[in-house]
Structure 1
Amino acid sequence: MTVKEVKNGYKIDFSFDNERFIETIKFRHSKSSLTEVNRLEGIFYEAIYRNDKRALQNYPHSKILRKAFKCESDSFTIDQYSSIWFGRHQANWSHTTIRDYGQKYRTHIKENFGDITLREFTPSMYHDWAKSQNLAGKTINHIRSILNQIFKEAYLDEVIDVNPIEKTRRSKVIQEEPEPFTQDEITKILAALETPYREFFQFAIWTGLRTGELLALRWQDIDLKNGLAHIRKNITLGKEKEPKTKGSIRKIEMLPEAIEALNSIKNSKYYDNFRVFIDPKTKTTYKYADGLRKYVWMPTLKRIGVTYRYPYQCRHTFASMMLSEGKNPMWVASQMGHADWGMIRKTYGRWIAN
């Protein structure tokens, strides 16, 4: 077993069972590079010696391993290569991304394309599938993005010569219109809710916070004296984390109705010295908002005869109310955690006062 320095890298050269295995690894010449190539040589030799094909999952581009296990590049199925892609990158993803990618992969990609080899897959296969799906354009494009990342990985590993997804078209995304609540509906909803649910949704309507931001809000983030709230955390799928974008970490001005909701909570038996909003049944932090929607929000709207909309429409309601009152769109964008007012103009343009 030998490793030799060659132009642009190092050459691994060894024999096993009278068969010679050679591969050039492209590395800048250095002591650490030489150490790494020697480590790779040991991995390749050990895998061949033990007939352990699992090494291909970590080194699918290795000419030595592909030769040893008679695994030509066109024999990789999409499902096999997706495992390699997931394994390499999931350590850098958030838990929500892992869950979302995994769910979409299993439901749509593996189910329809998993057994097809990388080289067999064609753009027309994707287009035929996309045309047959009863899915929103945004969802179709997200699935396309996952496929693109898998094929791009294979292309960069020189397993395939071209990425077929680059030749496919993105689906048209139809922007769903917001359905904000009217002042009469807001009055009915809040009158029908009891503490602390009334305060939760009153605060949501008059701040426009995202659901995860509401769940994560802490009293240390609140400045009642100056009417300010600092949005620093988000709870998604039961885990607290910082918001994805810098714009989402912000300071908002609380309107009188929002301050009223906080004072009501503070003077109730549901006050917790850490979280602003807690589950009244368990007296602990909300991990998920689905229970609020299913067992509080939905039955209340049905009981009072208000057309059902997701609780997220509280956020849309805040934006539409503020813009209709003539608030500066940049102020609204800042309150809602948008980097600029482009999203405000696109989503709420018809409520912007002349």
Structure 2
Amino acid sequence: MGQIRTRKETGTLYFDFVYKGTRCREQTNLLPSTNNLKKLQKTLERIELDIAMGRFEYDKFFPNSRLVAKFAPERTNTPKQPPAIEVKESGADGVKGPFFNSFILEWLQESQISWRRSHLLNIHGMIDKYYIPAFGHIRVGAITRADLLKFRSSLAKVSGRNGNVTLSANRINKIMDPLRRVFEEAADRYDFTTPFVRIKPLKVPRSDVQPFTLTEVRLIIDSVRPDFKNYYTVRFFSGMRTGEIDGLKWKYVDFERRMIMVRETIVAGEEDYTKTDSSQRDIAMCGPVFDALENQYRATGAMSEYVFCNLQGLPVDHNNITKRVWYPLLAHLGLEKRRPYQSRHTAATLWLAAGEAPEWIARQMGHANTEMLFKVYSRYVPNLTRRDGSAFERLLLANSNRDSMGDSV
């Protein structure tokens, strides 16, 4: 992801992004301000989208840049528009449909109107990295079920992220799912049977929910850098998703009613609608969250519309925080390495342990109902509350004593 940075020598803002493997830094004469930062961030988002779509023209954004000459020859050899869509329904060999690389561009153009920017970038990445190399110059009607199974097997040999030797079953399923929709559309359009038949998703292990104990939460909050104490207090005791807390604005913090109104989120650096309709909710502030937000307002209330922001007033970059603050802190405290998202799981389990009503907890979490709550979190409640069946034993014992008393009368 590119960034808007401030040059120390001049105090002016500049673009910092990567194009064609080259780090590009383009200067502006704008000084840091909320309006200037928002303006340049929007431009940067358009640049990154054009790069992802393969239609970026350097001189369109930076006509006076010295890098225009470097990228001009590459651009002249690359069509500004996607290759013409194959219109023939079959080739000389009778195989139906256009070549895969043509059809998937058509499918991409037709589908992207309903997608978020983050999803579009993800799909475009899979097209470039996986789909085109495997099927690019084959007609869609000639690709068989065996080809798809071989393709899926090849994915199992690709190196994974975050230290994983290979791609996870969940990641492979996410790569295969859009491909299924591509072939379903091609089969309908060119009248052939989709090869994506009897190919079931790989079995995905149950998600590893590892909430922190209340003692561990206190240790983390007491030990973290002072400038992130408010951030992690809100994370642990509000149940907010990462994008929700990173995109939280002061206009959605109601100190009078002690409510956090979740209305927007940050996805891939872009403001967006929340994950689901039920994610639009009001979260009640507990005491620590209220105090943390009051402290944070004194720190950033006058410099940005965002509650948690960087020195330029832009939303914090959670990837940067995770690498520079979160993981080093856990290592320093001798705690098991866990994703920051476990703070949301922690809030849910602590609420359950405290005996809060499941319906209330589900609303705080942004769940449509309590099904997810009991499915994912309830198995941690006995360990947190020491309720291991003894309450039922006491009920039976009390009932037995009453019966004995009745018999003795």
Do residues 118 (structure 1) and 140 (structure 2) align? yes
Q: Is the 8 A contact 1:211 1:289 kept in 2?
A: yes
What residue in structure 2 maps to residue 135 of structure 1?
Answer: 167
Which deviates more, 213-222 or 118-127? Answer: 118-127
116, 121, 146: which one aligns with 2:178: 146
Deviation at 1:244, TM superposition (A): 3.4
Residue 289 of structure 1 pairs with residue 327 of structure 2: no
- Asked whether the 8 Å contact 2:187–2:193 carries over to 1, the reply is yes
Q: 1:328 to 1:269 in 2, by over 3 A?
A: closer
Which of the numbers 257, 268, 271 marks the counterpart of 1:226? Answer: 257
Provide the residue aligned with 2:233 in structure 1: 202
The within-5 A match list for 1:1-354 is 57-58=84-85, 60=86, 62=87, 74=96, 76-132=98-154, 133=156, 134-158=166-190, 160-268=191-299, 272=303, 274-279=305-310, 282-286=311-315, 288-352=317-381
Within 2, Cα distance between the matches of 1:164 and 1:206?
Answer: 48
- Per the TM alignment, residue 314 of structure 1 is displaced from its structure 2 partner at its CA by 0.7
SS at match of 2:271: strand
Q: 1:286 to 1:142 in 2, by over 3 A?
A: same
Q: CA deviation at 1:165?
A: 1.0
Shift of the 249–269 alpha-carbon distance from structure 1 to 2, 3 Å rule, reads closer
Could you tell me how far 1:138 is from its partner in structure 2? 2.4
- Counterpart of 1:225, as a letter, is E
Task: Give the drift of 1:263.
Answer: 1.6
Shift, 1:271, TM fit: 5.5
Contact 2:301-2:307 at 8 Å conserved across structures: no
Report the 3-state secondary structure (helix = DSSP H, G, I; strand = E; otherwise coil) of the residue aligned with 1:196: helix
Contact kept in structure 1, 2:264 and 2:271, CA below 8 Å: yes
* CA distance in 2: counterparts of 1:351 and 1:95, whole angstroms: 36
Does the aligned pair in 1 maintain the 2:89–2:97 contact within 8 Å? Answer: no
Cα 1:233–1:92 change in 2 (3 A) is: same
Deviation at residue 164 of structure 1 after TM alignment: 1.1
The 1:270/1:312 distance shift into structure 2, 3 A limit, reads same
Contact 1:109/1:143 (<8 A) preserved: no
SS in 1 for 2:142: coil
Q: Is the 8 A contact 1:238 1:287 kept in 2?
A: no
In the superposition, relative to structure 1, how do residues 349 and 185 fare at CA in structure 2: closer, same or farther (>3 Å)? same
Q: Secondary structure at the match of 1:148?
A: helix
In 2, are the aligned partners of 1:221 and 1:230 still within 8 Å (CA)? yes
Deviations 1:140-167 (A, max 9, x none): 2222221112112212222x41111133
Using the size of structure 2 for normalisation, the TM-score is 0.65
CA RMSD of aligned residues (A): 2.6
Q: Structure 2: which amino acid aligns with 1:189? A: I
Partner-residue secondary structure (3-state), 2:106: helix
- Matched pairs, number: 293
What SS class does the counterpart of residue 283 from structure 2 fall into? strand
Deviations 1:88-128 (A, max 9, x none): 22233210110111122322322333343323322223233
How big is each residue's C-alpha offset from its partner over 1:277-310, in whole Å with a ceiling of 9 and x where there is no partner? 112xx24122531111111112222222222211
CA contact (8 A) 1:236 1:287 kept: no
Give the Cα separation in 1 of the matches to 2:83 and 2:277. 39
TM-score by length of 1: 0.75
Give the partner amino acid of 2:218: T
Task: Quote the Cα distance in structure 2 between the aligned partners of 1:123 and 1:117.
Answer: 14
Residues 125 and 205 (structure 1 numbering): CA distance in 2 closer, same or farther, change over 3 Å?
A: same
Residue pair 1:218, 1:276 contacting (<8 A) in 2 also: yes
Residues 177 and 271 of structure 1: CA distance in aligned 2, closer, same or farther (over 3 Å):
farther
Task: Point out the more displaced range, 126-135 or 314-323.
Answer: 126-135
CA deviation string 1:20-64 (max 9, x = no partner): xxxxxxxxxxxxxxxxxxxxxxxxxxxxxxxxxx99845x5x5xx
SS of equivalent residue, structure 2 residue 356: coil
Structure 1: gaps (5+ residues): 1-53
How many angstroms apart in 2 are the aligned matches of 1:269 and 1:250?
A: 24
Q: Distance in 1 between matches of 2:119 and 2:300?
A: 37
How far does residue 174 in structure 1 lie from its aligned partner after superposition? 1.5
Is the partner of 2:149 in helix, strand or coil? helix
Instruction: Give the percent of matched residue pairs that are identical in Structure 1 and Structure 2.
Output: 25
Measured in 2, the distance between the counterparts of 1:276 and 1:257 equals 16
In 2: Cα distance, 1:151 partner to 1:85 partner = 10
* Structure 2 counterpart of 1:32: none
Change (3 A) 1:55 1:334: closer
Partner Cα distance (1:227, 1:297) in 2: 27
Contact 1:196 1:265 in 2 (8 A): no
